Structure 1
């Protein structure tokens, strides 16, 4: 799959995951890699972009039986961005499906 297309899809997936729950980077990477092989640096680059754009924020969390971890949380701005991206993705997919059905 094209790298740029994959990054766009992964951004949407990360936003969707963070909309459901706060997560740490390694956890996000592992969840995605169960279905789609990507480099972990891709996940962290996308997370950094989301932070810079104020779509998500970082907080430090500690499990009672585990290490201190850096968690990512979606912001309200991030939720609005996710809603917009989901709408754009659905429109795009419908158009692609229409194109694939054509008998050129």
Structure 2
């Protein structure tokens, strides 16, 4: 179980750190996706900060600050539920697998941290 927890949490940390960096540099795919779902480019730095904070919290949870890891997992799950809702609201389904994948990683890390 410990190996699964570490693996899923590390995957969630890397995925969120990567997408936070893409948000910060306003990568073309980020700008295109944001425009499709109605997120203004001015929001990207704030969204990147939330994702980076979630990744950092998960990492700290991995290194022993369990309540922070759980709180970060909850925050990321809520964040990606909001992203899924934005996709559904805008009827943008062709790339909904991306926020769905991030949601699955965050939920997996949260679930494993909670039962650990």
Which structure has the greater CA radius of gyration?
Answer: 1
Name the structure where strand makes up a greater proportion of residues: 1
Name the structure where helix makes up a greater proportion of residues: 2
**Higher RCO, 1 or 2 (CA under 8 Å, sep at least 6)?**
2
Pairwise same-fold verdict (TM > 0.5): no
TM-score normalised by L of structure 2: 0.33
TM-score normalised by L of structure 1: 0.36
